[in-house]
Amino acid sequence: MKLAAAAVGASLALAGTASAQTQWIMASGYPENNFLTQNLRKWVEDVEKGTGGKLKITLHTNDSLIKLDSIKSAVQRGQVQGGEIRLGVYGNEDPMFILDGVPFVASTYEEAWKLMELQNPYFKGLFDKAGMVIAGYQVWPSQGFYTKTPVNSVEDFKGKKIRIYSTATQKMATLLGFNATILPFAEIPQAFSTGLIEALFTSAQTGVDIQAWDNTKYFTDVGAILSKNALIFSKRAFAALPPADQKVVLDAAAAYTKRSWEMSKAAGDEKAAVLKKNGMTVTGGPPAVLAAMKKVGVQMADEWKATASPAAVAVLTAYMSGQKTN
């Protein structure tokens, strides 16, 4: 009996120790030297410090645990407690996911911030219904075309096989004359080596991550799109935290969002310099190309409104109204 009582006591002690610390598994799709990953790791540090170590988060980066495009469903199923996703991947679920992928809807950091603030309530409702919490956002630097030859006009795009990352950028590239293919980040090098693609539309950050100079010579930064990632959690896992720890998580997520806008600006300039250092020619968009993209952007915005819900259209209307009054 004494041995049994001792065993029960030991079990209770172990249970008490285990319950003192909650373990979360997180997944992201980008390398450690990417500013998105660095900012996410800072969020993890802030949460663990703010909770006094009561919430321990193990972050698996660079597609090492779950592929980027599968992270959202993994969180929804409870396979992991949280992750960072690229919103544009999910355009087939709701048009709101690809609004920031419409050229020139939000082409500056200030515009991207205002759009994010107006989209946030819509996204919160969307994720809540799916059993998840959306807590913060990261913004990508300005994007452009990686090509093997100079870009002077849209004629230089005709028939070229390009990798893009969302239904919005696929539509844009197709309207500009490309043969566009959606591919995950991790598959870019192989796609070049097999001839599946010969060009990219992405940021200077991604260009450095995949060493774009191995396959292309020119980066034409058109500055038309500042797309976003999002930090998400399982609603059940988040609800299980004490209120004080929930506040720490959300406060750290707010800081992560603000910090991302600052880090993104710096990363865009720094990574463009790295592209140049590795022999690439980095230029802005030629006027003829920018004019064509703005025309495409108007067409895509009209098509977006035709497919979006009234609530989603109201977000765009409020955003555009605010832009006109600034």
Cβ proximity of 96 and 122 under 8 Å: yes
How does the average pLDDT of the chain come out, rounded?
A: 93
CA–CA dist 85, 232 (Å, integer): 8
What is the identity of the amino acid at 158?
K
The more confidently predicted of residues 185 and 76 is: 76
| Model confidence band, residue 4 (pLDDT cutoffs 50, 70, 90) | very low
Cβ proximity of 58 and 26 under 8 Å: yes
Taking 70 as the threshold, does the pLDDT of residue 19 lie above it? Answer: no
Query: Where do the domains of the chain lie, and which CATH numbers do they carry?
Result: 143-225+272-325 (3.40.190.170)
For the ranges 17-21, 77-81, 264-268, the lowest mean pLDDT is seen at 17-21
CA–CA dist 143, 285 (Å, integer): 10
Helix axes of 310-325 and 287-307: crossing angle, nearest 10 degrees: 140
Taking 90 as the threshold, does the pLDDT of residue 7 lie above it? Answer: no
CA–CA dist 117, 123 (Å, integer): 10
Taking 50 as the threshold, does the pLDDT of residue 12 lie above it? Answer: no
DSSP states along 80-144: SSEEEEEGGGGTTT-GGGGGGGSTTSS-SHHHHHHHHHHHHHHHHHHHHHTTEEEEEEEEPPPEE
For the ranges 10-24, 96-110, 235-249, the lowest mean pLDDT is seen at 10-24
Tell me the pLDDT tens digit for each residue of 155-206.
Answer: 999 999 999 999 999 999 999 999 999 998 889 999 999 999 999 999 999 9
Taking 90 as the threshold, does the pLDDT of residue 287 lie above it? Answer: yes
CA–CA dist 170, 245 (Å, integer): 41
Taking 50 as the threshold, does the pLDDT of residue 25 lie above it? Answer: yes
CA–CA dist 104, 48 (Å, integer): 38
Cβ proximity of 55 and 242 under 8 Å: no
- Give the model's pLDDT for residue 1: 41
- Give the model's pLDDT for residue 284: 96
- Give the model's pLDDT for residue 17: 45
- Give the model's pLDDT for residue 27: 98
Taking 90 as the threshold, does the pLDDT of residue 3 lie above it? Answer: no
Tell me the pLDDT tens digit for each residue of 250-260.
Answer: 999 999 999 99
- Give the model's pLDDT for residue 18: 46
